[in-house]
Structure 1
Amino acid sequence: MPEVHAPPTLDADTAARFAAIALGHVTREYPNKPDHTLAGPADARTPAALHPVFFGSYDWHSCVHGYWLLARVLRRFPGGAAAPAIRALFDRQLVPEKVAGECRYLEAPTARGFKRPYGWAWLLKLAHELRMLPEARWAGAIAPLAAILVRRHHEFLPVAPYPVRVGTHFNTAFGLRMAADYAESRGVEGGGDAALLALLRRTARRWYGDDADCPAWGEPGGDDFLSSALIEAECLRRLLPPADFAPWFDRFLPRLADGEPATLFRPAVATDRSDGKIAHLDGLNLSRAWCFRALAGALPAGDSRRPVMEAAAGAHLAASLPHLAGDYMGEHWLASFALLAMDEDGR
Structure 2
Amino acid sequence: MPETLTAAEAARLAAIALGHVEREYPNKPDHTLASPADARTPSQLHPVFYGSYDWHSCVHSYWLLARLLRLFPEGDKAPAIRALFDRAFTADKVAAECAYLKAPTARGFKRPYGWAWLLKLAAELHRLPEPRWSQSLQPLTDIFAQRYRDFLPIAPYPVRVGTHFNTAFGLRMAADYAETTGDEALLTLLRDTARRWYGDDADCPAWGEPSGDDFLSSAMIEAECMRRLLPPAEFAAWFPRFLPRLSDRKPATLFAPASVTDRSDGKIAHLDGLNLSRAWCFRALATAVPDATAAVLRQAADEHYAAALPHLSGDYMGEHWLATYALLALTVAEG
What's the TM-score bracket when you normalise by the shorter of the two chains? over 0.9
2:326 matches 1:338: yes
* Shift in alpha-carbon separation, 1:346–1:134, aligned structure 2, 3 A: closer
Q: 2:161 pairs with 160, 166, 186, which one?
A: 166
Partner Cα separation in structure 2 for residue 287 and residue 181 of structure 1: 17
Question: Is the Cα–Cα contact under 8 Å of residues 124 and 146 in structure 1 kept in the other structure?
Answer: yes
Question: Is the Cα–Cα contact under 8 Å of residues 294 and 346 in structure 1 kept in the other structure?
Answer: no
2:207 matches 1:217: yes
Partner Cα separation in structure 1 for residue 263 and residue 19 of structure 2: 19
Match of 1:270 in 2: 260
Match of 1:116 in 2: 111
Match of 1:283 in 2: 273
Unaligned runs of 5+ in 2: none
Question: Is the Cα–Cα contact under 8 Å of residues 7 and 317 in structure 1 kept in the other structure?
Answer: no
Deviation at 1:109, TM superposition (A): 1.1
Partner Cα separation in structure 1 for residue 190 and residue 144 of structure 2: 13
CA RMSD of aligned residues (A): 0.9
Partner Cα separation in structure 2 for residue 34 and residue 227 of structure 1: 25
Q: 1:78 pairs with 73, 82, 87, which one?
A: 73
SS in 2 for 1:107: coil
Give the percent of matched residue pairs that are identical in Structure 1 and Structure 2: 76
Deviation at 1:8, TM superposition (A): 5.4
Partner Cα separation in structure 2 for residue 94 and residue 116 of structure 1: 22
Further displaced range: 291-300 or 222-231? 291-300
SS in 1 for 2:333: coil
Deviation at 1:38, TM superposition (A): 0.6
Q: 1:197 pairs with 181, 187, 196, which one?
A: 187
Amino acid at match of 2:299: A
SS in 2 for 1:123: helix
Question: Is the Cα–Cα contact under 8 Å of residues 66 and 124 in structure 2 kept in the other structure?
Answer: yes
Match of 1:324 in 2: 312
Question: Is the Cα–Cα contact under 8 Å of residues 276 and 329 in structure 1 kept in the other structure?
Answer: yes
Partner Cα separation in structure 2 for residue 299 and residue 173 of structure 1: 20
Partner Cα separation in structure 1 for residue 144 and residue 162 of structure 2: 22
Deviation at 1:346, TM superposition (A): 6.1
Partner Cα separation in structure 2 for residue 39 and residue 80 of structure 1: 45
SS in 1 for 2:95: helix
2:313 matches 1:313: no
User: How many residues are paired up?
Assistant: 335
SS in 1 for 2:192: helix
Deviations for 1:44-85, whole angstroms, at most 9, x for unmatched residues? Answer: 000000001000000000000000000000000000000000
Q: 1:206 pairs with 196, 204, 228, which one?
A: 196
Q: TM-score, normalised by structure 2?
A: 0.99
Partner Cα separation in structure 1 for residue 312 and residue 325 of structure 2: 9
Q: 1:91 pairs with 76, 86, 89, which one?
A: 86
Deviation at 1:36, TM superposition (A): 0.1
Q: 1:128 pairs with 123, 145, 152, which one?
A: 123
Match of 1:228 in 2: 218
Partner Cα separation in structure 2 for residue 8 and residue 317 of structure 1: 12
Partner Cα separation in structure 2 for residue 237 and residue 146 of structure 1: 24
Amino acid at match of 2:153: P
2:49 matches 1:49: no
Question: Is the Cα–Cα contact under 8 Å of residues 283 and 332 in structure 2 kept in the other structure?
Answer: no
Q: 1:148 pairs with 143, 148, 169, which one?
A: 143
Amino acid at match of 2:306: A
Deviation at 1:195, TM superposition (A): 1.0
Question: Is the Cα–Cα contact under 8 Å of residues 21 and 52 in structure 2 kept in the other structure?
Answer: yes
Amino acid at match of 2:148: H
Amino acid at match of 1:63: C
Amino acid at match of 1:166: V
Partner Cα separation in structure 1 for residue 271 and residue 4 of structure 2: 22
Q: TM-score, normalised by structure 1?
A: 0.95
SS in 2 for 1:304: helix
Question: Is the Cα–Cα contact under 8 Å of residues 163 and 173 in structure 1 kept in the other structure?
Answer: yes
Partner Cα separation in structure 1 for residue 91 and residue 76 of structure 2: 27
Match of 2:289 in 1: 299
Deviation at 1:10, TM superposition (A): 1.0
SS in 2 for 1:134: coil
Q: 1:18 pairs with 13, 20, 25, which one?
A: 13
SS in 1 for 2:79: helix
